[in-house]
Structure 1
Amino acid sequence: MNTLHQAMAHPGIAIGLAALAAVCFAGAAVLQHRAVTAEHTPGGHVDPHSRDGLTRAGLVAAARTPGWLFGLALAAGGTTLHALALVLAPLSVVQPIGVLAVPIAVLISMRRTHRRPTAGVVVGVVLAVTGVAVFVLTAAGSATSTPAADSAMALAGAIVALVVVAFAALGLARSGWVRCVALATGGAVAFGLVSALMRAVSQLVTTGASAIISPAVLTALGGLVAALLAGGWLVQQAFAAGAPEVVVACMTVVDPIVAVLLGVVLLGEGASTPVVIWLQLLVAAGLAVVGVVALASHHPDALARREAAALAGVPATRPAPRSASRSSVGSGSRREHVLHRR
């Protein structure tokens, strides 16, 4: 096993696998978003102020559709490719490549809806992709890995859990694109922990530091499954609140940033990184975050929500009285539905 790992341990192979995974994730996001939206907004009546999440019955109904199941298969394939890439290369090399899913998702949505992206969407995508590209190129030069300590994995898991709960609470308390971004960010943070634990387990097993059935490995796998389930639920809720490109952007920007930070904590991947490099990473991450906000706030779906909110005389990202919410379901929400699922 070690011989095969050494033979394949080339950055180019890991990058190729991660790029293929990004294609799978983009396709999965578009397909599952379409299925979830169809169940969450029966008849096409979308309340731009609603804070109602996707119910369990709605999620079960969406999960029975061919589109959602095909999206799940694509996501599983992408996860497998991503896991293989993490075995072959450090987190800071593999994770940021997933940002390719953002322009891919935009292209898929353009083809499906027969519309061109707005200038704000283009700027958001460019900023997000550029920020993460600079992030990975800067981080890759000093990335090294060591087996993770049990205490470090436990601490990282506890911190991530608190962050995920905070974003989930924010998202569930708001509406509009803020809800979508907060829920998708919470899911991305959870998935960042999944990637970090994948890499940690691979390091423990391939280096011989722990057996595959050791308590450390089994605990890490348990945390991985819990984070995967939590992240998956939050992402489905985000699909019900916003466009697939926005959800993909949040995931592919936040996920690598969280994973790289966890790589530093768990695996010592940044132990020899100079301060000036960390400053460059911070600027690149900030650029990517600005890109996500621009994409979310200028997406046609978000613009339609704001127009519907303006007709009702209520801010688009805050809850409205029931009467105002229902009165806004008319022309503005129908226009949003056409944009969203045309």
Structure 2
Amino acid sequence: MTALALLLAVAGAACFACAAVLQHGAIAPRSKVDLRELLAHPRWLAGAGLAAGGAGLHALALVLAPVSVVQPVGVLAVPLAVALGLRGSRLPKRVVGGVALCVAGVALVVRTAAAATPDAPADLGRFLLVSGTAAATVGLALAVLAARTNGRIRCVAFAAGGAVAFGLVSALLRAVSVQFATADPATLLGAAAALAVALAAGGWLVQQGFAAGPPAVVVATLTVVDPFVATGLGAGLLGEAGGLGPAGMAFLLGAGAVATAGVALLARHHPEAAPRPTPTERRTPKEVPT
């Protein structure tokens, strides 16, 4: 089952990478995301379909294996998105280095988390309350930061906010799959509502990220922050970190630092990551010296 789950997760990562490039291509000419315009754009709709397919594959993988094993596999979308976004162009060495750091950091998380011995999971109702509150607080803070900044920081902050929401979705799907038979109907209904809200909020934040920067940076941020949020919730509330101990947790934090450094390199040195002019700057002609 674990091997099948990993295969599904890899296929989902490929779908996400292709979806990111397609949706960025539809959004990038705009300074703001207009949902009505995007719904009439065939390229964006194709990307949305791929994203939905990737999400379905990923969700099925989460039913078959622990979140701490499945979730980090999504980092494979980073090199795919870079290759697709810069096809025909020579990759800068620092961009390649950023991709390598992202993949290495998340791979270390997989290896460490997979070695843990699951404990008894937390009650689904408690998990929903604690994880939902924490994710909403962090996600809102990142959205506010993005709204008050521009350029690289805006792109990364919006993508990170979306990643927090998607990380919550992954962990919540795993919690529901494990405790579906024992949870009461009211709790399951609350979990379904939380999933819908988190998916909608995450999707909106990611589209804003595409409008502010290149798809590779958005995908890198998603695939680094998302698994750490999901793995953290899995470790803290789903009992998936038994046996790690302080040394294991410190190793996970170190792996997170490596992956974060990779995102920073991509955001700084990606050829499409230069700050874009605002609509006012695009409309204002340059002064001609006399």
Task: Give the TM-score normalised by structure 2.
Answer: 0.93
Matches for 1:271-290 after TM superposition, within 5 Å: 271-290=242-261
Q: Which runs of 4+ in 1 moved over 6 A?
A: none
Matches for 1:48-197 after TM superposition, within 5 Å: 54-55=32-33, 58-111=34-87, 114-144=88-118, 146-149=120-123, 150-197=125-172
| Structure 2 partner of 1:6 | none
Distance 2:11 2:83 in 1: 16
Cα drift, residue 265 of structure 1: 2.5
Change in Cα spacing, 1:110 to 1:324, as seen in structure 2 (3 Å) is closer
Cα drift, residue 147 of structure 1: 4.4
CA contact (8 A) 1:147 1:209 kept: no
One-letter identity of the residue aligned with 1:79: A
CA contact (8 A) 1:31 1:70 kept: yes
Distance 2:12 2:39 in 1: 21
- Picking from 5, 26, 31, the partner of 1:14 is 5
Deviation sequence 1:215-262 (CA, Å, 0-9, x none): 111111111110110000000000000000000000000000000011
Distance 2:207 2:105 in 1: 26
- Picking from 210, 234, 249, the partner of 2:183 is 210
| Structure 2 partner of 1:299 | 270
Distance 1:232 1:251 in 2: 11
Distance 1:263 1:326 in 2: 51
Deviation sequence 1:193-220 (CA, Å, 0-9, x none): 0101111111112xx2126xx1111111
Distance 2:282 2:56 in 1: 46
Q: Percent identity?
A: 49
Cα drift, residue 324 of structure 1: 9.7
Distance 1:262 1:80 in 2: 21
CA contact (8 A) 2:102 2:262 kept: yes
Cα drift, residue 130 of structure 1: 0.6
Query: Structure 1 residue 256 and structure 2 residue 227: aligned?
Result: yes
**Runs (5+) with no aligned partner, structure 2:** none
Query: Structure 1 residue 24 and structure 2 residue 8: aligned?
Result: no
Distance 1:105 1:204 in 2: 35
Distance 1:14 1:34 in 2: 30
Task: Give the TM-score normalised by structure 1.
Answer: 0.79
Cα drift, residue 168 of structure 1: 0.3
One-letter identity of the residue aligned with 2:6: I
Between Structure 1 and Structure 2, how many residues are aligned?
285
Distance 1:117 1:101 in 2: 16
**Runs (5+) with no aligned partner, structure 1:** 1-9, 42-53, 310-318, 329-342
Distance 1:262 1:154 in 2: 12
| Structure 2 partner of 1:36 | 27
Look at both structures and tell me which one has the larger radius of gyration over its CA atoms.
Answer: 1
Distance 2:174 2:285 in 1: 51
Change in Cα spacing, 1:274 to 1:31, as seen in structure 2 (3 Å) is same
Distance 2:148 2:140 in 1: 12
CA contact (8 A) 1:204 1:217 kept: no
